[in-house]
Amino acid sequence: MLTRKPNQGCELSWHRVQHFPLNMNLAPLMLELQRHQVVYRITEEANGQCLWVADETQIEPLRQWLRNIDFSDAAFQGSFNSGIDVAGSASHSTLGLLSLANRFPVTLIAIALAVVGYLAMEFQWLWLIQWLTFQPLELTGKGLGWGSVSEAFQSGQFWRLLTPVFLHFSVLHLVFNSLWVWEFGRRIEFYCGMGSYLNVLLITGIFSNVVQYFWSGPALFGGLSGVVYGLLGFVWVMQKRAPGGPLQIQPAIFGFLLFWLALGFSGALNVFIDGSVANGAHAAGLVSGLVLGYFWRLPDVRNRI
């Protein structure tokens, strides 16, 4: 049974609104109800799913709103997506980039900066790469060399703690990380809010970069994969703490990424790439995400879901 419940101590009476087929994906509907702060629950019954609300006065307005939604749209037949249009029209055809940017600004900005970091590496924009590396690049008699990290931080270059996460060294590297940031990030941004998600991204990114620097020493490293594993750990713990919430991820996804992590530590992936896998960043990201998920304050959902 899939249920959204208010905090303990709130006794609510539930009112039936509408019945849906058992195989219908109600994730888009749930996103809209939460965005409009409707107190609701969805129960799974023998012959389908049922939507309930706590406020009896919302029953008729909701029924009228639901009558305008095309539930035959693919958004309600497939996997979790970013939501439905407020007016009740089809999701995938009406949600443009502007709407997505309004819903998930931090997630999309992170991906956009990763694209910029990839382009900097691909076209060797040295002026930009110098700003994104953990250690400052310096021109010496032997060519490019690494400057002092401590001197960089003493001069106020604290952005270097984070910016390596935006450097990407191939299209595959960029696409792989961007897809997982989109998959995890939009869920966290929706459930926890933009500010909280930004903090999670910053903390996991900084921690993974710092650990990777001490792990590998002076080296050019980068990528959002440390953040990806941080988001993975955060989501895993949060879905244990709040079962039935929007942060539900299939166990196969966790298994796949943990297998990929183990493969990196085995050294097998190094055969196929120019360089080596940033295992320190991956492990540090996962650990920081697990810790954050454990201590993070759960969103107050009494008036939201």
- Distance, in Å, from the CA atom of 260 to the CA atom of 71, rounded to the nearest integer, reads 37
Is 99 a residue of the active site?
A: no
User: Exposed, middle or buried: residue 87 (CB in 10 Å: 0-12, 13-18, 19+)?
Assistant: exposed
- Distance, in Å, from the CA atom of 81 to the CA atom of 78, rounded to the nearest integer, reads 8
Structure tokens at 111: 């991906």
Structure tokens at 292: 């954050």
Question: How many of the other CB atoms lie within 10 Å of CB of 155?
Answer: 10
Structure tokens at 217: 């020493």
Q: Which of 150, 225, 276, 288 is catalytic?
A: 225
Q: Which of 82, 91, 282, 288 is catalytic?
A: 282
The DSSP output letter for 58 is: G
Question: By C-alpha distance, which of 181, 158, 157 is closest to 168?
Answer: 181
Is 266 a residue of the active site?
A: no
The DSSP output letter for 278 is: -
Pairing of strands 15-20, 137-140: unpaired
Active site residues: 225, 282
